[in-house]
């Protein structure tokens, strides 16, 4: 039984991670999508959804989505977010996300895969009509990886809708499918029985009960099949057959206790009480909190009574009475512990996430309830869903508290930035304006030079490329010429010739060096362009940094205020929901324990009578024996 519990708890906590069947793209282009997958592969659904949501939101805001790296994975991302939401048990949102994929422009296999997932959601959420409507929309190519699962789901949906004949027809095709070994034939058996084909149905249950496998789940369904068939035969008083089928159930499996009890009854009904004592004696040594074990505690002395061993029967009844009293006390203490809130407090302990057996170990803690009594309840779908919701709410509560602290830290950062930048920025801005006007001036100069050089390509102007020295000399010559011709004085021919020679030399130099100078001017302009580019980069970097400085502390107040408000209101709602969900869990647990307590109290009364009767018979038998002697 302990194993059953461990198995169930492991299944309970691993189920969500098994749900999503996503895989990473071969050529991952978007690292943030890869990050969302990293969290999803660890079963950390909240972070996976939050990151993928952020990435999708940013992608949809981009002006040119085809240039965004998520563009390459957008179909998978939209699909995966629905998958993750499903794994995080947000069925409503997952349904919407998957419906969006179905209605989008996607290929047939992708669409059918999406409908399959949607139908599975509806089926899991106990909405068989919607599930049926969904699977009926599947047409065309179905991906091979889901073909068998889809057929099996379709059959289950038909069964849930009471359409057993259609389920039978599908399950008959699946009976040899390896991945569904045991499950297809078990369901086929049940569907046939429901369809009114009792003998055929029983044959399949019988067949399932004799499957050879090493797979734990197949073995579990095999045991279940035997238990169902055995119980049916027992009810119909076909004791021999019932015994045979019930004895096939493993001694260590989750159904073994019930099978042992039934097997004993199959013998007892045939008057074979010695043989009935074999399974019951095994059962009676097991965990006393189990209902079957408690049943055996009464069945064993009953068998001894039937074998006329009244004194032994009376002693065993006495011991059973003692055990029942202890168990009733334990149940009272457990109910009290739950009502005092110890159960919920224990459930949210961190150890639960680290150790799947923790729920079982709860019983070892002081003031915590006897979890063995809650075994069947805890394994039920409703309790599991409620417990997971409670644990999820606890996680959300912790996150919201941490985020409130984050917002405090953000506000402090913003204040510190404001205090640092605000006095500095006016000085920096003044200096920047001065440099900016200088820079503009120089850039205008550069532009003029470039324009002039371009024009000189068409109309050469050597005088533009005269050096400053040459310009001074030219000025000096011009001055000399003016001086010499001033007042109409006749210039001596030697002097005039010398001046003209000087001008000629100057002209010669300017014109003969023009090509070289023109090339050099272009080279200088090229060098200048490089410097200007550097300057522009620096300028842009400064503008960005300057902008970033303001943006580092301005424009956050409203966002932070809004977020704080959302967090506070959501925290209140989470607290309220936690209280309601917790109360629901406590009520479920208390109800279960109360039922068990009432049943034990009933046992106690009956056992008292039975014990008294056994003592009477033992005394009478002894008296008769004496008389006979």
Window 307-366: residues binding other proteins (CB under 8 A): none
Residues 226-265 that bind other proteins (CB under 8 A): 227, 231, 258, 261-262, 265
Report the residue from 5, 574, 597, 618 that binds other proteins according to the rule CB under 8 A: 574
Q: CB-wise, 154 or 232, nearer to other proteins?
A: 232
Report the residue from 200, 385, 450, 496 that binds other proteins according to the rule CB under 8 A: 385
Q: Is residue 610 part of the contact set for other proteins (CB under 8 A)?
A: yes
Q: CB-wise, 32 or 511, nearer to other proteins?
A: 32
The kind and range of the H/E element at 241 are helix 239-246
Q: CB-wise, 510 or 574, nearer to other proteins?
A: 574
Q: Is residue 615 part of the contact set for other proteins (CB under 8 A)?
A: no
Residues 165-184 that bind other proteins (CB under 8 A): none
Report the residue from 74, 552, 601, 608 that binds other proteins according to the rule CB under 8 A: 552
Report the residue from 573, 598, 622, 624 that binds other proteins according to the rule CB under 8 A: 573
Per CB under 8 A, the segment of 362-370, 427-435, 437-445, 587-595 that binds other proteins is 587-595
Shortest Å distance, C-beta 12 to other proteins: 16
For the chain, counts of helices (H) and of strands (E):
26, 0
Closest CA to 75 of 87, 83, 64: 83
Shortest Å distance, C-beta 542 to other proteins: 11
Shortest Å distance, C-beta 33 to other proteins: 8
Q: Are 338 and 369 spatial neighbours (Cβ–Cβ below 8 Å)?
A: yes
For 289, counting Cβ atoms within 10 Å of its Cβ (0-12 exposed, 13-18 middle, 19+ buried), the class is buried
Q: Which two structure tokens, joined as six digits, stand for 351?
A: 């150890």
Shortest Å distance, C-beta 428 to other proteins: 17
For 159, counting Cβ atoms within 10 Å of its Cβ (0-12 exposed, 13-18 middle, 19+ buried), the class is buried
Q: Is residue 306 part of the contact set for other proteins (CB under 8 A)?
A: yes
Report the residue from 567, 601, 604, 621 that binds other proteins according to the rule CB under 8 A: 567
* DSSP secondary structure letter of residue 459: S
Q: 3-class DSSP state for residue 462?
A: helix
Longest dimension (CA), the chain: 185
Residues 484-543 that bind other proteins (CB under 8 A): 540-541
Q: Is residue 545 part of the contact set for other proteins (CB under 8 A)?
A: yes
Shortest Å distance, C-beta 403 to other proteins: 6
Residues 32-71 that bind other proteins (CB under 8 A): 32, 34-35, 37-43, 46, 49-51, 53-54, 57-58, 69
CA 494 to chain CA centroid, nearest Å = 104
Report the residue from 580, 619, 620, 624 that binds other proteins according to the rule CB under 8 A: 580
Q: Is residue 196 part of the contact set for other proteins (CB under 8 A)?
A: no
Shortest Å distance, C-beta 546 to other proteins: 11
Q: CB-wise, 190 or 393, nearer to other proteins?
A: 393
Q: Which two structure tokens, joined as six digits, stand for 360?
A: 């079982």
How many of the chain's residues bind other proteins (CB under 8 A)? Answer: 95
Those residues with Cβ within 8 angstroms of residue 608's Cβ, 6 or more apart along the chain or in another chain: 321
Q: Using CA atoms, how far apart are residues 432 and 299, in angstroms rounded to an integer?
A: 97
Per CB under 8 A, the segment of 29-37, 186-194, 318-326, 472-480 that binds other proteins is 29-37
Shortest Å distance, C-beta 552 to other proteins: 7
Q: Using CA atoms, how far apart are residues 588 and 386, in angstroms rounded to an integer?
A: 10
Those residues with Cβ within 8 angstroms of residue 147's Cβ, 6 or more apart along the chain or in another chain: none
Q: CB-wise, 119 or 377, nearer to other proteins?
A: 377
Shortest Å distance, C-beta 245 to other proteins: 13
* DSSP secondary structure letter of residue 209: T
Q: Using CA atoms, how far apart are residues 61 and 57, in angstroms rounded to an integer?
A: 6
Report the residue from 305, 314, 342, 514 that binds other proteins according to the rule CB under 8 A: 305
DSSP character string of 26-87: SS---HHHHHHHHHHHTT-HHHHHHHHHHHHHHHHH-SSGGGSGGGGGHHHHHHHHHHHHHH
Residues 433-462 that bind other proteins (CB under 8 A): none
Report in angstroms the alpha-carbon separations of 571 from 368, 403, 556, 576, 581: 28, 11, 22, 9, 15
Q: CB-wise, 315 or 491, nearer to other proteins?
A: 315
Residues 89-148 that bind other proteins (CB under 8 A): 89-93, 126
Report in angstroms the alpha-carbon separations of 560 from 15, 83, 494, 565: 37, 31, 91, 8
CA 547 to chain CA centroid, nearest Å = 39
Shortest Å distance, C-beta 119 to other proteins: 19
Shortest Å distance, C-beta 85 to other proteins: 9
Q: Is residue 298 part of the contact set for other proteins (CB under 8 A)?
A: yes
Shortest Å distance, C-beta 86 to other proteins: 11
Dihedrals φ, ψ of 357, to 5°?
A: -85, 0
Q: Are 291 and 265 spatial neighbours (Cβ–Cβ below 8 Å)?
A: no
Shortest Å distance, C-beta 93 to other proteins: 6
């Amino acid at each position: 039984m302990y194993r059953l519990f461990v198995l169930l708890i492991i299944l309970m906590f691993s189920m969500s991670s098994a749900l999503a069947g996503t895989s990473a793209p071969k050529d991952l282009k978007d690292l943030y999508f890869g990050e969302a997958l990293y969290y999803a592969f660890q079963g950390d659904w909240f972070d996976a959804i939050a990151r993928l949501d952020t990435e999708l939101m940013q992608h949809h805001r981009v002006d040119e989505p085809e240039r965004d790296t998520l563009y390459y994975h957008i179909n998978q991302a939209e699909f995966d977010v629905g998958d993750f939401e499903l794994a995080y048990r947000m069925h409503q949102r997952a349904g919407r996300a998957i419906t969006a994929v179905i209605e989008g422009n996607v290929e047939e296999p992708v669409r059918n895969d999406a409908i399959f997932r949607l139908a599975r959601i509806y089926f899991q959420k106990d909405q068989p009509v919607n599930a049926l409507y969904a699977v009926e929309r599947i047409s065309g190519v179905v991906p091979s990886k889901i073909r068998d699962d889809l057929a099996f789901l379709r059959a289950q949906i038909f069964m849930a809708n009471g359409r057993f004949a259609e389920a039978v027809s599908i399950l008959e095709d699946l009976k040899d499918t390896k991945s569904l070994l045991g499950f297809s034939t078990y369901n086929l058996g049940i569907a046939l029985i429901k369809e009114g084909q009792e003998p055929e149905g029983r044959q399949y249950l019988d067949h399932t009960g004799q499957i050879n496998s090493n797979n734990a789940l197949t073995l579990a369904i095999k045991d279940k099949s035997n238990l169902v068939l055995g119980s049916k035969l027992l009810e119909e008083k076909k004791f021999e057959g019932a015994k045979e089928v019930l004895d096939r159930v493993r001694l260590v499996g989750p159904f073994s206790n019930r099978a042992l009890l039934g097997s004993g009854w199959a013998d007892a009904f045939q008057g074979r009480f010695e043989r009935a004592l074999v399974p019951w004696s095994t059962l009676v040594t097991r965990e006393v909190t189990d209902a079957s074990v408690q049943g055996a505690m009464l069945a064993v002395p009953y068998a001894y009574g039937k074998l006329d061993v009244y004194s032994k029967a009376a002693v065993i009844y006495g011991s059973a009475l003692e055990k029942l009293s202890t168990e009733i006390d334990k149940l009272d203490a457990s109910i009290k512990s739950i009502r005092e809130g110890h159960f919920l407090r224990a459930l949210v302990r961190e150890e639960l996430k680290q150790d799947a057996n923790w729920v079982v170990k709860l019983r070892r803690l002081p003031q915590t309830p006897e979890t063995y009594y809650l075994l069947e309840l805890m394994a039920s779908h409703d309790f599991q869903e409620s417990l997971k919701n409670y644990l999820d709410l606890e996680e959300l509560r912790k996150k919201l508290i941490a985020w409130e602290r984050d917002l405090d830290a953000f506000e402090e950062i913003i204040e510190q930035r404001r205090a640092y930048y605000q006095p500095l920025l006016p000085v920096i801005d003044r200096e920047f304006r001065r440099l900016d006007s200088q820079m503009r001036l120089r850039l205008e100069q550069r532009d003029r030079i470039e324009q002039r050089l371009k024009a000189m390509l068409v109309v050469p102007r050597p005088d533009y490329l005269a050096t400053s020295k040459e310009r001074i000399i030219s000025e000096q010559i011009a001055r000399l010429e003016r001086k010499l011709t001033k007042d109409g004085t006749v210039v001596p021919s030697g002097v005039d010739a010398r001046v003209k020679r000087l001008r000629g030399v100057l002209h010669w130099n300017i014109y003969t060096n023009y090509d070289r100078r023109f090339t050099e001017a272009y080279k200088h302009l090229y060098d200048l362009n490089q410097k200007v580019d550097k300057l522009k980069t620096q300028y842009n970097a400064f503008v960005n940094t300057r902008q970033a400085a303001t943006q580092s502390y301005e424009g956050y107040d409203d966002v932070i205020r809004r977020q704080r408000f959302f967090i506070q209101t959501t925290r209140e709602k989470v607290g309220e929901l936690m209280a309601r969900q917790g109360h629901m869990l406590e009520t479920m647990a208390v109800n279960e324990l109360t039922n068990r307590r009432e049943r034990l109290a009933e046992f106690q009364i009956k056992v008292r009578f039975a014990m008294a009767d056994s003592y009477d018979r033992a005394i009478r038998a002894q008296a008769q024996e004496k008389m006979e002697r």
